[in-house]
Amino acid sequence: MKLKRIPLIFLSLLLVLMPVFVSATDEITVEFDRVSERVLVVKSGKVYTDQIVALASKKGMVMIDTGIAPTLTEKYRKVIEREFGRNDFVYVINTHYHWDHTNGNQIFPEAVIISHETSPDRMRQFDQGRPNSVAQRRARITQWKNQLKGLEPDSERAQRIRDAIDSSEITCDDLENNYILTLPTLTFNDRLTLDMGDLTFNLLYFGEGLHTGDDIIIHCPEEKLLFTGDLFYKGSMSIAFSSQFDAPRWMSVMNEVLKDEDAVEWVYDCHNGRMSGEFISLWRDYLVELWNDLSAASEEGLDLVTVQDRFSYENKYSFISKSGIDPEQLKREHQNNVKYVWYRIKELQSAATVIGQVIAESGMDAALKKYAEIKDAPVEKYYFDEVEMNRLGYQLINQNKLKEAIEIFKMNVELYPETWNVYDSLGEGYMLLGEKELAIKYYEKSLEINPDNTNGVAMLERLKSEKEEL
């Protein structure tokens, strides 16, 4: 809906009736949500949301994150100034370094920008690789446009893709023509408190392993709000995605924020609207219980198979269904959580991480030797994980290291020959390398195991039609 064509009288009526008001000036629609007298959420995108928050304190305006594109953030700033009737931006807080949270920093040049102490370096690194990121994102846009052709236009997936295309096109244009690297100038390691008179902002470093490693959370007790960047998502109870995470720190940070029962009413992330305080408390309770149970099991000398059975979703953890998430998804997430928390407690090293480091430092030959060595190593030292190995392969593809990626996918085929996805990934690797025969061979193998692999079907069709054209 574009309101610019609606007569002013209806517009003022809408302002009274609707909590969300639309003020688009072009194809991207900017919306806002007045959470309270002092808090305004401004965003665009219906499904894939770009969202920033403005808080009006006695001592000035405080911004949480600045969005994906300066052109959009300029529009957000106008809405904020109009709604509050002021423009005294004192602080901008970046929840982490990612471009979709910091690209709009330049729109608040008068403000002091705050982040974790490692964020400026990460942002500088992103800036150095900016042309590459833009090229990759533009390639992604082309892929999305192709995907859209096969989708029902009104489906949520199609809407999400259209949102992503719109914001990505603006972002790429901005990153090429309208972007000034604007780094945080006030950084902290552990915690920082801003006393803004009527509002307090408690900034806490969250710790390694859940999203980027420089994530902070911001608690505003007077408004009972918690801002968590990309750390949490209301559609998931995932705790860990590898064994490298700082659970003890997460627990102490969350216990501190949630120590009073009504300390947090709403939790704002940057893409998915808001979560309830109960959801985040449930996540914390789940983590604490899992950590304590598995620590005790480790002391007892149990093995992973026994642990997985004793602490299964059905036996002990079905209480996480209070999150409202589909139980089948919760079971899957719980299985992964148990596995990674166990590896973490046993202090096992991730083979994928070690091999990835060797590739970066010494190249593929050394990595192949390391792989053989790890395979023969005692089980209490390393662990192999299909998902982590697959992720490493795709990281290498992103770094344009196709041959290395294929070696990793081959290892995964050797390690997990029963799994369809390892063949799908190897097929993709060969496809990107231009080895069509091999790509077809592995996509076919993947489909043999899982005929429902729709990506595999689509890729095979494409490869075969390209072959006929040759």
116 contributes a contact to Zn ion by CB under 5 A: no
Q: Which is nearer to Zn ion, 102 or 323 (CB)?
A: 102
Helical packing angle, 156-177 and 130-149, nearest 10°: 150
User: 466 in helix, strand or coil?
Assistant: helix
**402 within 8 A of 364, measured Cβ to Cβ:** no
Q: Which is nearer to Zn ion, 99 or 409 (CB)?
A: 99
Which region among 71-79, 98-106, 149-157, 448-456 touches Zn ion (by CB under 5 A)? Answer: 98-106
Cβ burial 351-378 (10 Å sphere, 16+ → b, else e):
bbbbbbebbeeeebeebbebbeebeeee
Q: Which stretch binds Zn ion (CB under 5 A): 68-76, 91-99, 196-204, 443-451?
A: 91-99
- Cβ 209 to Zn ion, closest distance in Å? 14
Residue nearer to Zn ion on the CB measure, 98 or 445: 98
* Nearest-angstrom CA–CA distance, 51 and 64: 9
Q: How far is the CB of 33 from Zn ion (least distance, A)?
A: 21
Residues binding Zn ion: number (CB under 5 A): 2
- Closest CB 52 distance from Zn ion, rounded Å: 14
Q: Which is nearer to Zn ion, 269 or 404 (CB)?
A: 269
Residues from 216 through 235 that contact Zn ion (CB under 5 A): 230
Q: Cβ 377 to Zn ion, closest distance in Å?
A: 34
**Which range of residues in 96-104, 119-127, 285-293, 405-413 is near Zn ion by CB under 5 A?**
96-104
Tell me how far, at minimum, the Cβ of 270 lies from Zn ion, in Å: 8
Using CB under 5 A as the binding rule, the residues of this chain from 429 to 468 that contact Zn ion are: none
Burial class (CB in 10 A: 0-12, 13-18, 19+), 123: buried
Nearer to Zn ion, 29 or 94 (CB): 94
Nearest in space to 213 (alpha carbons), one of 194, 196, 231: 231
Q: Is 112 left (phi over 0), alpha (psi -120 to 50) or beta?
A: beta
Please give the structure tokens belonging to residue 211.
């999203």
| Smallest distance from Zn ion to CB 96, Å | 6
**Bridging pattern class, strands 200-205 and 216-220:** antiparallel
CB of 231 to Zn ion, least distance (A): 9
Cβ distance 232 to 276 under 8 Å? no
Closer residue to Zn ion in complex, CB, 101/410: 101
Which residue number, 98 or 219, has a Cβ lying nearer to Zn ion? 98
Residues in region 335-354 near Zn ion by CB under 5 A: none
Question: To the nearest whole angstrom, how small is the minimum distance from the Cβ of residue 70 to Zn ion?
Answer: 18
Binding window for Zn ion (CB under 5 A); candidates: 14-22, 93-101, 339-347, 371-379 = 93-101
For the chain, the distance separating the N- and C-terminal CA atoms, rounded to the nearest angstrom, is: 46
Instruction: Answer for the pair 204, 217: CB distance below 8 angstroms, yes or no.
Output: yes
Indicate the residue among 65 and 404 with the shorter CB distance to Zn ion. 65
Q: Of 166 and 230, which CB lies nearer to Zn ion in the complex structure?
A: 230
Question: Which single residue is written with the structure tokens 């190995």?
Answer: 389
List CB contacts of 433: < 8 A, sequence separation 6 or more: 402, 403, 406
3-state secondary structure of 198: coil
Does residue 98 interact with Zn ion by CB under 5 A?
yes
Give min distance, CB of 435 to Zn ion, in A. Answer: 34
What's the CA angle centered on 367, arms 336 and 384, to 5 degrees? Answer: 20
Interacting residues with Zn ion (CB under 5 A): 98, 230
